[in-house]
C-alpha cells in the first residue's frame, strides 16, 4: 500500500502564470529547478549510497525443484526435465568422463518411485536421473524411457558411478558480475531438501561449476540418502559449518554430486546396473538478511513518496492555470 501523501507547500510565484500556454511552460521550466532541485539531489544521494555498497545482493532468481518443465509444471515420466542437468558423469570413479550420461536429466517414471523406498515425489518436484539410464538392470532394456538403472558400484575404485547435477541461478545486486557477495551487507540463505540414490554432496560455485568432480569441503553431505527428508541451508554467514557457501553477483551454481555405490563401501569389481537418481524440493525459500526475496518492501516507501509528490505538483499546477484563465 502506498504511503499517505504529504502536501508540500509551493511558493505562489511558480503558479503566477500568464494566460498564454507558451508563457506558462517557459515560466514553469525557468523556476522548476528551485523546487525539484533539492528533491533530486536527495534522491541522487540515496541512489549513490546504494551503489557504493558494492557486492550487495537484492534478489535471487532461478531456483527450481527437479522434474519440472520450463514452465514449472511436472514433466512426464521419461521426458527431459528443465533446469537441472548432469554436467559431468563418470562410470569409472572419475578417471574419465562419460558423455553418454551427461545432459538434461530425465524424469523417473512415478510408478518406479512408488514403493521403492525413495522419498516420495511432491506436488512440485520429481525424481530425475542421468541420461542413458535403463528401464531394468539389463543393458538390453530401453534407455531414457523413465527407468533409473545406471552403472555404479562402490564408493571408490574403477566401477564407482559419479553423476554431477547442476542448477544455475542468478543473484542480482550491486557490484560487477562475478564479485563475491559481501556477507556483512547481505546475509544470503537458500534452503532445500534433497534425496539421492545412493549418496550426495552439495557445493555452491565450486571450481569448474559442475563440469568436473568438485574438490574441497562440501556444504552438505548424506549417505544412504534415498529416503532423506532433512532440509539443508546454504548460506554465506555464521560460524563453523554454518558459513558453507560463497555467492556471487550474476550467475551461480548449486552442484550436487550423486555417487551410485550400490550400497557398497570401498572398491567393487561388480559392473551390475542399479537404480540411481536425485530429488530436490523446497528450493524456492531464499532470504537476504532474513527477509524473503525479492525485497519489494524496501522500495515501496520511496516509490510512494515520488508518486505522491508528482501527483500533488500536477494537480496544483492544473488548478492554478484554470484559475488564471478563468
Name 125's bridge partners: 122
Which three three-digit cell numbers place residue 84? 537441472
Report field, pTM of the whole predicted structure over 0.85: no
CA dihedral 52, 55, 56, 57 (to 10 degrees): 150
> pLDDT band at 322, cuts 50/70/90?
low
The pLDDT value recorded for residue 32 is 53
Check: CB of residue 101 under 8 Å from CB of residue 91.
Answer: yes
Q: What is the mean pLDDT of the chain?
A: 84
> pLDDT band at 285, cuts 50/70/90?
confident
> pLDDT band at 240, cuts 50/70/90?
confident
User: Residue 295 pLDDT > 90, yes or no?
Assistant: no
Q: How far apart are CA 125 and CA 3, in angstroms?
A: 39
What is the secondary structure of 239-280 as a DSSP string? Answer: SGGG-----BSEEEEEEEEEEE-TT--S------EEE-EEEE
Q: How far apart are CA 187 and CA 231, in angstroms?
A: 19
Share of the chain above pLDDT 90, in %: 71
User: Residue 199 pLDDT > 50, yes or no?
Assistant: yes
Count CB neighbours of 138 within 10 A.
10
The pLDDT value recorded for residue 307 is 45
Name 193's bridge partners: 231, 281
Amino acid at each position: 500500500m502506498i504511503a499517505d501523501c504529504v502536501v508540500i507547500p509551493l511558493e505562489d510565484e511558480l503558479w503566477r502564470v500568464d494566460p498564454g500556454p507558451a508563457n506558462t511552460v517557459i515560466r514553469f521550466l525557468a523556476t522548476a529547478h528551485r523546487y525539484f532541485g533539492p528533491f533530486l539531489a536527495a534522491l541522487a544521494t540515496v541512489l549513490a549510497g546504494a551503489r557504493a555498497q558494492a557486492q550487495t545482493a537484492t534478489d535471487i532468481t532461478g531456483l527450481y525443484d527437479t522434474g519440472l518443465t520450463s514452465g514449472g509444471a511436472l514433466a512426464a515420466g521419461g521426458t527431459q526435465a528443465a533446469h537441472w542437468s548432469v554436467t559431468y558423469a563418470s562410470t569409472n570413479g572419475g578417471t574419465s568422463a562419460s558423455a553418454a550420461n551427461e545432459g538434461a536429466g530425465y524424469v523417473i517414471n512415478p510408478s518406479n518411485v512408488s514403493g521403492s523406498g525413495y522419498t516420495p515425489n511432491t506436488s512440485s518436484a520429481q525424481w530425475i536421473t542421468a541420461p542413458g539410464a535403463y528401464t531394468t538392470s539389463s543393458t538390453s532394456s530401453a534407455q531414457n524411457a523413465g527407468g533409473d538403472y545406471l552403472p555404479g558400484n562402490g564408493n571408490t575404485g574403477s566401477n564407482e558411478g559419479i553423476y554431477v547435477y547442476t542448477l544455475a541461478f542468478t543473484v542480482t545486486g550491486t557490484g560487477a558480475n562475478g564479485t563475491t557477495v559481501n556477507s556483512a551487507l547481505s546475509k544470503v540463505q537458500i534452503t532445500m531438501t534433497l534425496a539421492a540414490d545412493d549418496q550426495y554432496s552439495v557445493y555452491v560455485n565450486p571450481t569448474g561449476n559442475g563440469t568436473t568432480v568438485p574438490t574441497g569441503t562440501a556444504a552438505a553431505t548424506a549417505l544412504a540418502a534415498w529416503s532423506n527428508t532433512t532440509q539443508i541451508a546454504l548460506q554465506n554467514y555464521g560460524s563453523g559449518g554454518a558459513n558453507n557457501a560463497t555467492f556471487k553477483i550474476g550467475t551461480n551454481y548449486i552442484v550436487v554430486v550423486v555417487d551410485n555405490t550400490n550400497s557398497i563401501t570401498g572398491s567393487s569389481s561388480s559392473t551390475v546396473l542399479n537404480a540411481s537418481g536425485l530429488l530436490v524440493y523446497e528450493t524456492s525459500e531464499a532470504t537476504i538478511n532474513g527477509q524473503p526475496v525479492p525485497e519489494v518492501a524496501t522500495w515501496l516507501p520511496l516509490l510512494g513518496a515520488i508518486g505522491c509528490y508528482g501527483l500533488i505538483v500536477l494537480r496544483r499546477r492544473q488548478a492554478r492555470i484554470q484559475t488564471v484563465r478563468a
